[in-house]
Amino acid sequence: MRRLKWVVLAFGCMLGPVGQPAAASGLVLGDSIGEGVAQASGLKGLARISVHIRGPRALEQISATPAGSTAFLVLGTNDADGSIVNLDRHIENILQAASRKNIKLVWIGPPCVRKSWDSRARELDGILSAKLAARSVQYVSMRDERLCSGSLHEPDGVHLKMKGYAYMWEKARSAAGFPPTVAVRKDAEKAATSPSGEHKAANEHAHEPGEPARRAATVDSAAPRATARAQAN
């Protein structure tokens, strides 16, 4: 009887409180904006700076994602800071890679930026919205009044304050029907209330192989950080 009791208790822990299923498996993929969303969500993050729709790096992240997971893919901002022509094939490659692993893909679109190329970010948002709707892939647009107001942006006009990333995460999580995360990382909470959460000044870096050259500094030149020590770019 005692053994049966422990078995029941263990099963209850797996289910979670009041018989609800345990938290779903989720990861955050994508670019440096995705790094911030990962910090805000508390989920495991594979997002890194300098990732584009074009090129192999987004595909490498999907390859590293466990089959059957929910992947929040934050992608498109770097592409908008350049040419957005002929992206269809690269978008399709990402969708097929996720489908082969039975990954539930939640694509989080490029948020508004306080830059002259925001018009391309808006255009890419429309392209992704139309294409992914036709493929029954969850797309979450990040162009709304609050994100476009500039109040959530860092001084570089591209990256967001931690409360901006938290807003993006909650919007995406809710749209995807993903359960609330139990706890946000302590370092993310500190970054939300401390000057240490601000980004470093932008620096240029090389564009992806085969990608059109940039006219200005890269979008991902300043990655989000959640501690007083800045991440190396």
pTM: 0.74
Would you place residue 43 in the very low, low, confident or very high pLDDT band (cuts 50, 70, 90)?
very high
List the strands of the sheet with 104-108, edge to edge.
44-45, 26-30, 70-74, 104-108, 138-140
- Each residue of 128-181: pLDDT tens digit? 999 999 998 999 999 999 999 999 999 999 999 999 999 999 999 999 999 997
CA dihedral 49, 52, 58, 60 (to 10 degrees): -70
* Residue in the block written with tokens 């647009």: 141
Outline where 135-178 has alpha helix (H). Answer: 145-148, 162-176
Compute CA distances 19 → 16, 73, 174, whole Å. 6, 30, 21
